[in-house]
């Protein structure tokens, strides 16, 4: 018997854990993994995030598809701190990952589950980083990957997806068109939709971010500021901290703040109680968080509100300014999506949400080479 099942995040209905179910059969909401036992996974010989002791939806270590993801380093960002007059700013360098972004946390778990369940062909839609990550782990697992991406995605990201041997389907139109085409393809071909936005297994990987922050910190940071599109890192971190609190390993969950781009801000708007509609042609340099209709929006809002966090939207100009500042003052070349978190930090300090003497941690989610700065 499996030690996991799937629970609806809205109506609490449960379903058996399988490869393809992404929505509650009763109310059509997304699902989370729920653990009903300890499971049989032995961690012996596993490294990186698989060695942290977090409950995982895999039964047999032989099915773990891993390239040493996780255990990313934390750097002190002293000059960012001086600039914003904060006593301690920490960067968790998530881009030091197998495919150059934090998505690998989610993907290693998702693709391990797929392998364990005997899946041989998956479909994913992605504006870039998740697509590259799924493509890489599918290659490692010997699984065929179909990646649906907007035709406007950065060339370096598309090229990276292709080098792993994935079949790339370029879709004209807004980001949502790629999702629509992927779903249609899944239905037509009877394949598994390994959506990083929807899959409950993906969050079981991103939750390890919280386990690492707890293990690496003498004292937990008071604030964590995260760039949020679909919210897989925000929601995953929240789940991880909730598990750690339930197990008595931490007392207080850091305040989780969500940063979005001004042009595409469904979560920041909902947080502020503002009406917001995605405008046709709305664009931001932060491609990784350019998501007009995140399927887990309500869950993301809960993660923010229940931890005492806030959500802000930042301008492209601030994002690009912080991208250069990080490179020139901290030696960290982040992609614009990652720099958005620092623009958000500046805004949150300005609003008084984050105090001068409180420790702040920010994930640097993706490497700059993936979505290069305007030519210098």
Residue 294 makes contact with a copy of itself by CB under 8 A: no
Q: Which of 20, 298, 324, 358 binds a copy of itself (CB under 8 A)?
A: 324
If we measure between CA atoms, which residue out of 219, 216, 285, 255 comes closest to residue 348? 255
Residue 66 makes contact with a copy of itself by CB under 8 A: yes
Q: How far apart are CA 9 and CA 13, in angstroms?
A: 8
HSE value, Cβ hemisphere, 13 Å, CA-based, for 314: 34
Residue indicated by tokens 């001004």: 262
- For residues 2 to 41, the per-residue mask of contacts with a copy of itself, x marking binding by CB under 8 A and - elsewhere, is ----------------------------------------
Q: How far apart are CA 337 and CA 319, in angstroms?
A: 8
Q: How far apart are CA 303 and CA 297, in angstroms?
A: 10
Residue 75 makes contact with a copy of itself by CB under 8 A: yes
Burial label, 166 (beta-carbon count in 10 A; 0-12, 13-18, 19+): buried
Residue 214 makes contact with a copy of itself by CB under 8 A: no
Long-range own/partner contacts, residues 22-27 (CB < 8 A, 24 or more apart):
22/193, 22/195, 22/198, 22/199, 22/200, 23/198
Residue closer to a copy of itself (CB basis): 163 or 252 = 163
Residue 280 makes contact with a copy of itself by CB under 8 A: no
Residue 81 makes contact with a copy of itself by CB under 8 A: no
Q: Which of 4, 5, 22, 99 binds a copy of itself (CB under 8 A)?
A: 99
In whole angstroms, how close is the CB of 59 to a copy of itself at the nearest point? 20
Residue 212 makes contact with a copy of itself by CB under 8 A: no
| Span interacting with a copy of itself, options 121-129, 139-147, 219-227, 278-286, rule CB under 8 A | 139-147
Q: How far apart are CA 243 and CA 250, in angstroms?
A: 9
Give residues in contact with a copy of itself (CB under 8 A): 47-48, 66-69, 71-75, 79, 93, 96-100, 135-140, 142, 156, 159-160, 162-165, 324, 327-333, 367-370, 372-373, 375-376
């Amino acid at each position: 018997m499996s030690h996991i099942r799937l629970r609806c995040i809205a109506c609490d209905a449960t379903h058996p854990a399988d490869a393809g179910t992404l929505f509650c059969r009763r109310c059509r909401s997304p699902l989370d993994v729920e653990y009903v036992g300890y499971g049989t996974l032995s961690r012996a010989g596993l490294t990186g995030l698989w060695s942290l002791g977090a409950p995982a939806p895999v039964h047999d270590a032989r099915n773990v598809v891993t390239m040493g993801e996780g255990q990313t380093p934390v750097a002190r960002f002293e000059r960012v701190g001086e600039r914003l007059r904060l006593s301690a700013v920490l960067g968790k360098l998530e881009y030091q990952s197998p495919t150059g972004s934090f998505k690998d946390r989610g993907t290693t778990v998702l693709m391990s589950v797929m392998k364990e369940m005997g899946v041989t062909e998956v479909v994913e839609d992605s504006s870039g980083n998740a697509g590259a990550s799924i493509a890489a782990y599918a290659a490692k697992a010997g699984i065929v990957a179909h990646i649906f991406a907007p035709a406007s995605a950065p060339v370096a990201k598309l090229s990276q997806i292709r080098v792993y041997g994935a079949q790339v389907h370029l879709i004209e139109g807004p980001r949502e068109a790629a999702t629509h085409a992927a779903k249609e393809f899944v239905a037509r071909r009877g394949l598994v939709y390994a959506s990083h936005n929807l899959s409950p297994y993906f969050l079981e990987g991103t939750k390890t971010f919280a386990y690492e922050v707890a293990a690496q910190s003498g004292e937990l940071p008071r604030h964590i500021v995260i760039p949020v599109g679909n919210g897989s890192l925000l929601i995953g971190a929240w789940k991880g901290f909730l598990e750690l609190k339930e197990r008595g390993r931490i007392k207080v969950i850091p305040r989780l703040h969500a940063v979005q781009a001004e042009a595409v801000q469904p979560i920041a708007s909902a947080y502020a109680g503002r009406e917001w509609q995605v405008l046709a042609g709305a664009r931001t340099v932060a491609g990784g968080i350019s998501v007009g209709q995140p399927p887990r929006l309500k869950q993301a809002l809960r993660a923010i509100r229940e931890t005492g966090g806030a959500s802000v939207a930042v301008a492209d100009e601030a994002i690009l300014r912080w991208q250069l500042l990080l490179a020139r003052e901290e030696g960290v070349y982040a992609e614009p999506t990652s720099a958005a978190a620092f623009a958000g930090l500046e805004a949150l300090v300005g609003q008084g949400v984050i105090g001068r003497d409180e420790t702040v941690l920010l994930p640097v989610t993706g490497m700059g080479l993936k979505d290069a700065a305007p030519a210098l």
